[in-house]
């Protein structure tokens, strides 16, 4: 089957979005028992996962649990701190290019435990070298903020805070089991955050939610105009990740929602390339922390701490304990959350993972792709590139593969052409993209 045939088979497949691998079992053959070594002088980023939330939203795909008591929170943080310290002892010469604290909801911690979390952050960044563009970030929700938490965030040097709204419409939030926050409360906290001197406020919005139409999104845009925050991030509901009811939203409806959001955010003065999910009022700012910037664009190594956190480097990907587990309470009392599952990935799989992540950015670098492959990307994928350009699905600009308006209607299918093939029994006579994988050494 030719590339056009493969493309048509894959159209409208919900597996094809920004998630990879497409099925967890796809990596079973790459699982190993040995840890992936991080280089002593490696450039990398840190990520801390706080899995606690005050309520559980029906659309959330991340590892989370209802907020435990303060003692269990403290126990979790104590183990987290121990894991970080032990990693730094083994890697004293690393340079941190990013540090994100996410979840879950980090600000769901009690006042004392949140102070402890911030101390862990400060002690870590004071121990290692930092890059010049180091820009840490922390996630929060409006109903878990406090003046003292914001004071500690600012004093720690965290100048970007990302707040999940998802929708401003009470009915939409109720259907999706998320607490609605009154607009006056949102405005109050945004004003306070700015007063503290935290320079960048990002608001997360979702499209494709149950009960959401263009009418509700139009109301979101009107409120965003009032709030006038520095950054906005859009997330498409990934129905293949969660157990969602029948009647999934179509690709056409998802594209319609993104197109409406994109056009109106641009009208409000935000900058982004079409197909990108991060928007910023500053044209020189991509709307993300340095952790995400280096991960999406440069495929930089990162180390995750906490239950189920992911780590990635040139050898492959690993997951801490608790990945895909429902009863996290069984894991938060462990003496260490350190890596439990290890996957030594061929270069083609590493490239596929990077391209999937870069889908949030709407583009990926040919040079970085070639570096991951240890081969010339254009030579390897000439047939796929020519097909996509001929059909106006991508364009090449400044040595980037960029998704077009037409391509974004089925962006997952377009990007999947550069994945390792054979997921659907596409053909026994594979195109160029299905050349044999070359394993990584080490």
Q: 85 forms bridges with which residues in the sheet?
A: none
In whole numbers, what is the pLDDT of the chain averaged over residues?
89
Burial of 240 (0-12, 13-18, 19+ CB in 10 A): middle
Determine the Cα–Cα distance for residues 166 and 217; give it in Å rounded to an integer.
Answer: 10
pLDDT at 429 over 50: no
Q: Which CATH architecture has domain 1-18+359-433?
A: Orthogonal Bundle (1.10)
Residue range 87-143, pLDDT digits in tens: 999 999 999 999 999 999 999 999 999 999 999 999 999 999 999 999 999 999 999
Distance between CA atoms of residues 353 and 20, nearest Å: 6
1-18+359-433 and 43-295: identical CATH topology: no
Which CATH architecture fits 43-295? Alpha-Beta Horseshoe (3.80)
For residue 353, pLDDT beyond 50: yes
CA–CA separation, 388 vs 218, rounded Å? 33
The secondary structure element, H or E, covering residue 415 is helix 411-416
Query: Mean pLDDT across the stretch 216-231?
Result: 96
DSSP 169: -
pLDDT score, position 324: 67
Q: How far apart are CA 431 and CA 343, in angstroms?
A: 26
Of the pLDDT bands very low, low, confident and very high (cuts 50, 70, 90), residue 34 is: confident
Determine the pLDDT at residue 26: 86
Residue 339 pLDDT: 78
State yes or no: pLDDT of 431 exceeds 60: no
Query: In 228-376, where does DSSP find H-type helix?
Result: 251-267, 290-298, 347-358, 366-373
pLDDT for res 433: 35
Query: Beta partners for 96?
Result: 44, 130
Q: Answer for the pair 205, 220: CB distance below 8 angstroms, yes or no.
A: yes
439 pLDDT more than 60: no
The distance from CA 221 to its chain's CA centroid, rounded to whole angstroms, is 23
Asked whether 338 and 82 are in contact (CB, 8 A), the reply is no
pLDDT tens-digit profile of 301-348? 999 999 999 999 989 999 999 876 667 778 888 899 997 889 999 999
Rg of the Cα atoms in the chain: 21
Domain boundaries, the chain: 1-18+359-433, 43-295
Cβ count within 10 A of residue 289: 27
**How far apart (Å, rounded) are the C-alpha atoms in residues 216 and 222?**
10
- Which pLDDT score is estimated for 239? 62
Of 434, 417, 437, the closest CA to residue 9 belongs to 417
Q: Look at the chain and count its residues.
A: 442
């Amino acid at each position: 089957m030719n590339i056009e045939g493969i493309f048509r088979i894959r159209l409208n497949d919900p597996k094809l979005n920004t998630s990879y691998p497409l099925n967890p079992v796809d990596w079973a053959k790459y699982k190993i028992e040995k840890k992936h070594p991080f280089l002593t002088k490696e450039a990398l980023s840190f990520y801390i996962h706080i899995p606690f939330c005050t309520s559980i939203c029906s659309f959330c795909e991340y590892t989370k649990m209802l907020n435990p008591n303060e003692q269990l929170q403290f126990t979790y943080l104590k183990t987290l701190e121990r894991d970080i310290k032990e990693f730094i002892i083994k890697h004293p010469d690393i340079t941190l290019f990013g540090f994100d604290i996410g979840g879950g909801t980090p600000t769901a911690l009690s006042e004392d435990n949140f102070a402890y979390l911030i101390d862990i952050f400060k002690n870590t960044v004071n121990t290692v070298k930092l890059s010049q563009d180091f820009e840490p970030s922390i996630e929060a929700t409006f109903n878990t903020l406090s003046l003292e938490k914001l004071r500690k965030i600012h004093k720690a040097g965290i100048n970007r805070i990302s707040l999940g709204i998802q929708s401003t419409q009470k009915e939409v939030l109720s259907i999706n089991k998320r607490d609605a926050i009154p607009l006056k409360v949102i405005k109050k906290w945004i004003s306070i955050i700015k007063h503290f001197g935290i320079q960048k406020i990002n608001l997360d919005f979702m499209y494709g939610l149950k009960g959401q139409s263009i009418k509700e999104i139009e109301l979101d845009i009107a409120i965003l105009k009032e709030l006038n925050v520095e950054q906005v991030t859009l997330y498409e509901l990934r129905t293949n990740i969660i157990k969602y009811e029948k009647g999934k939203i179509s690709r056409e409806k998802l594209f319609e929602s993104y197109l409406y959001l994109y056009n109106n955010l641009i009208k409000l003065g935000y900058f982004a390339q079409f197909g990108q999910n991060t928007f910023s009022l500053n044209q020189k700012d991509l709307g993300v922390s340095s952790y995400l910037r280096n991960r999406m664009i440069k495929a930089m190594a990162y180390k995750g701490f906490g239950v189920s956190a992911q780590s990635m480097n040139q050898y492959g990907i690993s997951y801490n304990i608790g990945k895909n587990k429902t009863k996290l309470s069984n894991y938060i009392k462990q003496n260490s959350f350190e890596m439990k599952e290890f996957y030594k990935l061929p270069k083609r799989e590493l490239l596929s993972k990077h391209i999937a992540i870069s889908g949030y950015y709407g583009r990926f670098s040919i040079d970085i792709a070639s570096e991951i492959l240890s081969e010339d990307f254009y030579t390897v994928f000439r047939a796929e590139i020519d097909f996509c350009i001929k059909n106006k699905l991508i364009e090449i600009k400044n040595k980037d593969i960029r998704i077009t308006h037409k391509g974004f209607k089925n962006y997952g299918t377009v990007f999947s052409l550069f994945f390792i093939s054979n997921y659907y029994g596409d053909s026994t006579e594979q195109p160029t993209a299905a050349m044999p994988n070359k394993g990584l050494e080490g």
